[in-house]
Amino acid sequence: MEAGFMGSPFVVPLGAFVMVVVIVAITQFTKMREKELAAHQELRQREMEHEREMKKMEIEKSKLEVEKARLAKN
């Protein structure tokens, strides 16, 4: 009576171990993905804030140039 590989007493413990490893890997991948998405979101928020500040500075620069031109005419 040849049992083969499936009849081996190591199949069930090995299968259980592999299942645990796969579950832990999926969990870690999910956590890593969440952290990556949070980092991208924070980076995008910083980028948008930077753009707003640059627009404010550009508007202020334009106001100063207009004021300078007005003073130069007088």
C-alpha atoms less than 13 angstroms from C-alpha of 74 in its C-beta half-sphere: 5
What sign results for the dihedral spanned by CA atoms 4, 15, 18, 34? positive
Please, which pLDDT band fits residue 1 given cuts at 50, 70 and 90?
very low
Mean predicted confidence (pLDDT) in 38-59: 98
pLDDT of 43 above 90 = yes
| Cα separations in angstroms, 54 against 33, 40, 66, 67, 70 | 31, 21, 18, 20, 24
